[in-house]
Every structure is written in C-alpha cells, then in structure tokens.
Amino acid sequence: MDKFENFNKKTPAVLLLLFIGVMLALNLAAPDRTFSDSENRMLKQLPHFTFESLLSGAFTSDFEAYVSDQFALRDLWIGAKTDADRAMGKKESNGVYLGKDGYLIQKFVPPAEGDLEAKMQAIHAFDQATPGLRKYAMIVPTAAAVLQDKLPKYAETGAEEDYLGMIRQMMPPGIRFVDVFPALYAVREQPIFYRTDHHWTTKGAYAAYLELCKHMGLNAQKEEDFHIRQATGTFFGSLYSKSGYRHVQPDSIQLYLPKHPEAYTVSYVDEGRTTDSLYAMDQLRKKDKYAVFLNGNHALVRIQTGQKNGRKLLVVKDSYANSFVPFLLMHFGEIDVVDLRYYEDDLAALVKERGIREMLLLYNAITFCEDPSIKHISE
C-alpha cells in the first residue's frame, strides 16, 4: 500500500520532468522560424547581446519575445488556449470578438487623448494648402459597427459610431464627407465583411462605391456589368491570425471583372515596376490572399486608364481602398493611389505636379483612429 501511494505521489513529478525535458529538447533541436504563416507576421529572432542592452533592459525584453515566438509547437499551444477559452465561454481573444455565425470581429479601441485632434489639424492644413482640389472623405465603419447583431453578449458597442460622428463634424467645410454607414447597413445581411479578416469584401466595397457615385456625380456601373469571379475559397484573414481562433470556416474572395474591359497600366512608382492588371493573382498562393488587390500596400501606385475625360483622382488610403479602386477605373483617366504609411514625399506638391483636381480620402474607422501616418498628410 505504501509503495502504491509513493508511486502515485511521484508519478506527477516524473511526468512533469519528462514533459519539461521533451520540450527543452524540442526547443534546442528546432531551427528558428522567421515567419509564422498562421499569425501572418515576422517572428522575433535571437537578439544580439551587449552589456549596454543588458543594463538597459532591452536585451531581456527582446529575449523574452524571442523565446515566446520561437517556442516549440507555438501554433499548437495558441490553438489549445483559444479552444480552452471557448469551452469556458470566453468570446474575446487579443482584441478580436468571436461573434455569431463564425464572424471574427475586431474590437474598436478609441484613440489616445488628443490624437484625433492632431490628425484633423493635419487634414485642415492639407485642405488649406490645396484650395483647387475637390476633396471627399470616406471613413468606413467596420464590422463592429455595422454587424452589431453578430457581436457576442456584453461586447462594447457604440464607441466607433461616436468617433465617426466626431470625425465628420471635425472635417474641414471644403471636404465632403461620404457617409457609407446607411448603404452598408442596408445590405448587412449580405457578405459585406469577411468572417476571418478585418477588411470589407468586394461586395461591401461595391455598396460604398454606389454611394460615392452619388456624391461625385458619377454614372455608377451596375452589378450586372461585371463578371463576379471567386478567386479563392480558402482565405483565412488577419483576424484569424491575430485571435488564435482556429475552428472557423475560411472566406472566399470575389473579383468584380468588367464584362467589357479596357486596357490600363498600373505603375508601382517606387519599385519602378509596371503591370497591366490591378490583381496580383500569385498572392492567392500565399497566406495574405487579400493582397491579390493592388498587390498589397505600396507608397504610390499610378494607374493610367483608357478614359479620355481628363479627370485625375488622388486616393489617399489604407488597405480598404485596395478592393475599392478597381470600381473607379471607368470614371477617371489617371488615378494616383497613395499610402501615407510608406509615402514620404510632399503630397500637396504631388497634387500640383500632376495637375490633380479630385481627391478621395478612404480609411476604415479603426485604421483612421490608430494610424499615426495621417498626421503627415500636410508635410
């Protein structure tokens, strides 16, 4: 009896030591990874040791991040944790809600005090520097605002709409605010947002395009003017990567291809590269399949279309615009697409140099509130 009790007491300790030994061996034997496909991000590499970094605490912090990122079977442990959280009824992970019908919805985090005011001051300064430029602003509500019926119980609601109202009120009088919330809300039963990604779908972008046409006096293309093609049905997006939730269905990505296409050229100015398509189909073989639109984000993309109307448009944007821009090709002769996160030149000078007369500021509400690069729009 005593031997049996001793065995029972020792067994957990032996199993724990065995587990620690196996994990230690796996961590020592496994090569460091540079990129996580499931999280869609670069992983921390072994930091360089110096006494200065040790004393400052930077080495300790970097080494802790390195161990976390390179821990053996990391993806398995992340999945196990979120599965355990789901079993206990938890509906949020890393700022992502697990909503109804398989929707992963990014939580809206209000900007820091004074941050929104600083951005609006920069936009006012840019407006004053470009008096001959007709400007439109489309700050797109995200799924957290439009699909509130998909949110779990007790999820925070209302903040995003409040800040959208503030942004609208703070816009310069010379910039026309294009409110697309009613248009998106009216078709909320359709797949206008991806379930696993923070972007709107091409259908959502099309609904907003129809609203923009009303404000800009454009003759909108009808949905039947396009061949709607499914580019992939195995898209696991940014919220899938960020949240760790794994037992969800993949999204499909649709392309709206004109039935009567016209030739155009797309120039990635900084890269010195030109193509004849807005779609980078090779991106569909990679994790971030949304990059099929405009080949992802770039500092400056210049599109020369076949339109002879002389209209030139500047689009200042985040990645929501990548699936939106294709709808604009039938309306403008030239379109310059600028991402302020990468663009370092004078935007007002670009407007003057190119003779641009119209501009669209297009961001989703979360990026607009979080992205500091907007403060540089007037520099």
- pLDDT tens for residues 270-295? 999 999 999 999 999 999 999 999 99
More confident residue, 359 or 27: 359
Q: Are residues 184 and 210 in the same domain?
A: yes
- H or E element in which residue 367 lies: helix 365-370
Q: Are residues 116 and 178 in the same domain?
A: yes
- pLDDT tens for residues 5-22? 565 556 666 656 665 665
Residue with tokens 């991106």: 283
Region 259-279 average pLDDT: 95
Q: How confident is the model at residue 67 (pLDDT cuts 50, 70, 90)?
A: low
Question: φ and ψ at 320, to 5 degrees?
Answer: -60, -30
Region 50-70 average pLDDT: 68
Region 103-115 average pLDDT: 95
CA 260 to chain centre: 30
Q: Are residues 264 and 284 in the same domain?
A: yes
Share of the chain above pLDDT 90, in %: 70
Q: Are residues 215 and 344 in the same domain?
A: yes
**Cα angle vertex 209, ends 203, 211, to 5°?**
115
Q: Are residues 96 and 112 in the same domain?
A: no
Q: Are residues 89 and 116 in the same domain?
A: no
Residue with tokens 């080494």: 63
Helix residue ranges per DSSP H, 88-201: 115-129, 143-146, 159-170, 181-186
Q: How confident is the model at residue 197 (pLDDT cuts 50, 70, 90)?
A: very high
Give the per-residue pLDDT at 40: 46
More confident residue, 50 or 366: 366
Q: Are residues 117 and 91 in the same domain?
A: no
Query: 155-175: buried (b, 16+ CB within 10 Å) or exposed (e) per residue?
Result: beeebbbebbeebeeebeeeb
Q: Are residues 115 and 204 in the same domain?
A: yes
Lowest mean pLDDT among 78-87, 211-220, 227-236, 306-315: 78-87
- Please count the structural domains in the chain: 2
Q: Are residues 359 and 243 in the same domain?
A: yes
Q: CB count, 10 Å around CB of 59?
A: 18
Q: Are residues 240 and 178 in the same domain?
A: yes
From 370, 2, 358, 19, select the one nearest 163 (Cα to Cα): 370
- Is a pLDDT exceeding 90 seen at residue 71? no
Q: How confident is the model at residue 254 (pLDDT cuts 50, 70, 90)?
A: very high
Of 48, 68, 102, the residue that ends a domain is 102
Give the per-residue pLDDT at 22: 58
**108 vs 111: CA distance, rounded Å:** 9
Of 49, 70, 102, the residue that ends a domain is 102
Give the per-residue pLDDT at 167: 97
Q: How confident is the model at residue 49 (pLDDT cuts 50, 70, 90)?
A: confident
From 362, 340, 371, 365, select the one nearest 118 (Cα to Cα): 371
Q: Are residues 234 and 309 in the same domain?
A: yes
Q: How confident is the model at residue 39 (pLDDT cuts 50, 70, 90)?
A: very low
Region 235-243 average pLDDT: 92
Of 77, 102, 127, the residue that ends a domain is 102
Mean model confidence pLDDT for the chain: 87
Q: Which domain holds residue 13?
A: 2-102
Phi/psi region, residue 89 (left: phi>0; alpha: psi -120 to 50; beta: rest), is left
Q: Are residues 84 and 117 in the same domain?
A: no
